[in-house]
Amino acid sequence: MTELNFEQMRQAMVASQLRTTAVNDPRVVAAMGTVPREHFVPAENAAIAYIDRPIPLGAGRALNPPMTTGRLLTEAHPRHEDRALVIGGATGYAAALLAELVSSVISLEEDKVLLEGARKTSLPSHVAVVEGSLAAGWKKKAPYDLILIDGAVEYVPQPIIDQLADGGRLAGAILDRGVARLSIGRRSGKGFGLIAFADAEAAPLPGFSRPRGFSF
């Protein structure tokens, strides 16, 4: 597989998976048409890096389909001045995309193998890769203007919501009876609300099971 082949697949992804599914922010489209997705998957999966399904990364994790990532970024409305946090940064693909769109990015990951992969990738200097519990977020650099949960979760823990700046946005996929609903939320004062805008396939993240009530 040559660089030309990957470039052709990248442009085909833009044409067939993004432009046809309401990924209509020109900056998001440009970033996804530039960042080499094949660099963020295991070498044996590089040839399928641009298919419209999750790509296995190892450790039970996967890279979200392009449409899922594109829709979340579009609805999040990233701004040049934003400070962003990616939760479930894995090998760094979403962080690399956001680096094209915002002023600084923290990519949070808890799996050591995926962390090693991210640190071996040539990420821009304004991306910091950090290790910690995904469900706890990264309080050290809070508040954030934008938080991207790069995977499907059952709920958004309060510590993550607390790390949003007033007016900050959060984008992610919320599992509802097994269906991943792409959602966008905004913090206003002490309040926070999420609105689902589309159903899409999304790779699950560990550590976000909704607390269960006691039963007798």
pLDDT mean over 55-67: 96
| pLDDT tens digits, 12-38 | 999 999 999 999 999 999 999 999 999
Query: Residue 59 — very low, low, confident or very high, per pLDDT cuts 50/70/90?
Result: confident
Domains of the chain as residue ranges with CATH: 3-199 (3.40.50.150)
Contacts of 214 (CB under 8 A, 6+ apart): none
What's residue 92's pLDDT? 98
What does the pLDDT look like over 70-114, one tens digit per residue? 999 999 999 999 999 999 999 999 999 999 999 999 999 999 999
Please tell me the distance from the alpha carbon of residue 148 to that of residue 163, in angstroms, as a whole number.
12
Of 124, 25, 3, residue with least CA distance to 75: 25
Query: Which pLDDT band holds residue 201 (cuts at 50, 70, 90)?
Result: very high
Q: Is the pLDDT of residue 174 over 70?
A: yes
Q: Name the residue with tokens 């550590």.
A: 207
Q: Partners of 144 in the beta sheet?
A: 164
Residue 211 pLDDT level (bands cut at 50, 70, 90): confident
Sign, CA torsion 7/10/16/19:
negative
Count of CB atoms situated within 10 Å of the CB of 45:
17
The model's pTM: 0.95
- Under the banding of pLDDT at 50, 70 and 90, the label for residue 213 is low
